[in-house]
């Protein structure tokens, strides 16, 4: 059975949308993903710090309102018996524990979860040989996966640019 290495944030779930909702509430803003142009949300709120974003990602508030991408759950359920799907994600220890628990609550115990800490853009330590990797960050696609898919979801963020590898497929939906 072939393996799909599926990213969590902004690939399987609406992380940017959720962070922006929280920032809108905290700072009385009216921003959307269309206003996002940087990785740490300063284009949404100039007052926000990287530390505050990290704290939000590690919070119950973040996970309480988190949603799957449209059709993600339907597609996951359609292919979970045809492929081994491994949710492969980066984060802090707390964030990874919350992600895994959220997935188990939503998808059941059958999920395969691989949480990685350290460099936020490096998944090269995972042996994805003969696998399919799907991620929203082009830097995370520096792996040995046989098929690498950059999932842009209709966006063209800075972290989705700058790759020169012709072996990466671009997908918007």
- Categorize the per-residue pLDDT at 164 as very low, low, confident or very high, splitting at 50, 70 and 90: low
pTM above 0.75, yes or no: yes
Q: Closest Cα to residue 131, out of 74, 72, 89, 85? A: 85
**pLDDT, position 22:** 98
**pLDDT, position 30:** 97
**pLDDT, position 166:** 63
**pLDDT, position 111:** 85
């Amino acid at each position: 059975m072939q393996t799909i290495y599926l990213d969590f944030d902004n690939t399987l779930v609406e992380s940017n949308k959720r962070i922006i909702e929280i920032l809108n509430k905290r700072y009385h803003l009216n921003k959307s993903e269309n206003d996002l142009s940087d990785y740490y949300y300063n284009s949404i709120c100039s007052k926000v710090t990287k530390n505050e974003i990290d704290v939000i990602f590690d919070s119950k508030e973040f996970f309480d309102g988190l949603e799957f991408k449209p059709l993600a759950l339907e597609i996951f359920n359609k292919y979970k018996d045809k492929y081994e799907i491994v949710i492969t994600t980066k984060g802090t220890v707390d964030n990874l524990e919350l992600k895994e628990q959220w997935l188990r609550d939503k998808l059941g115990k059958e999920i395969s979860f691989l949480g990685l800490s350290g460099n936020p853009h490096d998944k090269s330590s995972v042996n994805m040989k003969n696998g399919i990797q799907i991620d929203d960050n082009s830097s995370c696609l520096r792996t040995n996966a046989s098929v690498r898919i950059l999932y842009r979801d209709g966006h063209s963020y800075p972290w989705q640019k700058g790759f020169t590898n012709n072996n990466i497929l671009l997908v918007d939906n």
